[in-house]
Structure 1
Amino acid sequence: MSKEKRRFPRIYLPANPEETDRLADVSFLFEGLGPTPILDISLKGLCIRRVAAIHSEIVRRDGRPIKFGLEFLGLGLGEFEGRVVRTTEDAIAFEFTQLGAEAHKLLSCYFEMRSRGLQTRFVSPQFYAPEQDFTHWFHGPGDTNVFVWLQDKAIRRFVVEFDYGTLNFENAKLTLATSRADLTRATEDYTHYVTVETRGSTMPEASFVRRVIELLEQIPDEREIISLLVETLKCHDSSLKA
């Protein structure tokens, strides 16, 4: 089933194990085992990498629901219950069977935070302010914005703004800054005030860059502009080290 046709949109985590270890912000915990990488998650269920110990327990339970924990970075740990709906050589998929109030709150908060990219869309150039010279603009919830300056099909500059942080890429250099207070204006006026000012950041640069990558990887983009931004950020390995 395609991502677009799903009733419950899914958040996909990187398939490469090294990237998963570095970028995943939610972990599957089961009966004393170490954190198991999650491949995708939705409000209805999740899919994890197949681990022998977990698969053995699934076989032993013979279809009965399994209790497990989900630990969300920055949000906390919640107890969940689910039944296995699919297994392959590489993955195990669960459907949630019971969600307590706290578990539901954790999942909803996490999904809202991570699904911003899914709700971020390309804005038609007809709505750009005349004085702005960026070539592409993507806008999403919570004043999430991605501005791109493309020249001869190459990235000259881009700016990503969300959660009051601003990531600016220009002249092959990344700069992290806090957003100006006057950027918190009505959306229709936003393009008149897009200015990046370098100030002291309140968050580690590597952490914010990872969150930007996670945001970008969720944005639908038939123009394949976003993939260029992700590739550019991942090339700056020194900025991605914790």
Structure 2
Amino acid sequence: MSSMEKRRFPRVRMRPTMAEAIAWLGGQVVWPNLETSEIVDLSYRGLAAQRPGLLSVSVQQNLEIEIRLGDRPGFKTAARVAWCNTEWVGVEFGAVSAEGHLVLSDFLDALVAGANLRQVDKGFVTGGQNFEFWFQGAGGVSLFIWLNADRQITRVQLDFGDSSTSISRGESGVFADGSSGRRRALLLLSQMDKPGVPMEDFLRSLGS
């Protein structure tokens, strides 16, 4: 794949430990024999998932699969097996329906945004601010993170330009909140993998 194609079709690696703890943040493939596999890598063009144990798969094989992403409705699409080994299968999507594309965009855009956040030097912060970290991303996204004395995240605030959301450590009802801003925030945070920022620990503290 050319560098231009990679930019057009960004992909993210799903975090299996995060999905195990919080299924809401994971994704699954339902194969034609109704086996279910965890998605480990996702883009607009395709995905990689755990190889099904009972379904025979081979390169160039055409399949119809169902994709389930977080709490969104599942959607079916044609797919072609692009590669496979003893553990994993990579498939390319065929024509995805308009409804499926909306689900995919809603889920993947937030993950891509989280994976591409960049830290801002605190030297640029004006006085009176007590957050520990500040990250920025495309589209005017800003993430502010507060830590306690034990270096645990106590609060995060995400500003999207036209809206913002704040989440505190141990907060209950977070995953029951169906608002698009809260959903986007949690997906974005699930892709945070930065030194000194224990985001998985923070997300695991949140209640359903």
Structure-2-length-normalised TM-score: 0.72
Corresponding position: 1:146 with 2:119: no
Q: CA deviation at 1:36?
A: 2.2
Aligned Cα root-mean-square deviation (Å): 3.5
Corresponding position: 1:45 with 2:15: no
Structure 2 unmatched ranges of 5 or more: none
Higher relative contact order (CA 8 A, sep 6+): 2
Structure 1 unmatched ranges of 5 or more: 177-203
Q: More helix by proportion, 1 or 2?
A: 1
* 2:77 aligned residue: 80
Are the structure 2 counterparts of residues 22 and 79 from structure 1 closer, same or farther at C-alpha, using a change threshold of 3 Å? closer
Are the structure 2 counterparts of residues 136 and 113 from structure 1 closer, same or farther at C-alpha, using a change threshold of 3 Å? closer
Alignment of 1:59-98 (within 5 A): 59=58, 63-98=60-95
Corresponding position: 1:117 with 2:87: no
Task: Indicate the structure (1 or 2) with the bigger Cα radius of gyration.
Answer: 1
Corresponding position: 1:167 with 2:167: yes
Are the structure 2 counterparts of residues 79 and 210 from structure 1 closer, same or farther at C-alpha, using a change threshold of 3 Å? closer
Q: Render the CA deviation track for 1:157-198: whole Å, top value 9, x for unaligned.
A: 4424367542124xxxx346xxxxxxxxxxxxxxxxxxxxxx
- SS of 1:161 mapped into structure 2: strand
Question: Is the Cα contact below 8 Å between 1:133 and 1:149 reproduced in 2?
Answer: no
**Residues in 2 aligned to 1:20 and 1:94: alpha-carbon distance in whole angstroms:** 26
Are the structure 2 counterparts of residues 206 and 67 from structure 1 closer, same or farther at C-alpha, using a change threshold of 3 Å? closer
Question: Is the Cα contact below 8 Å between 1:120 and 1:220 reproduced in 2?
Answer: no
Calculate percent identity across the aligned residue pairs. Answer: 20
- SS of 1:52 mapped into structure 2: coil
Q: Which is further off, 153-162 or 7-16?
A: 153-162
**Residues in 1 aligned to 2:167 and 2:6: alpha-carbon distance in whole angstroms:** 32
**Residues in 1 aligned to 2:18 and 2:29: alpha-carbon distance in whole angstroms:** 15
Structure-1-length-normalised TM-score: 0.64
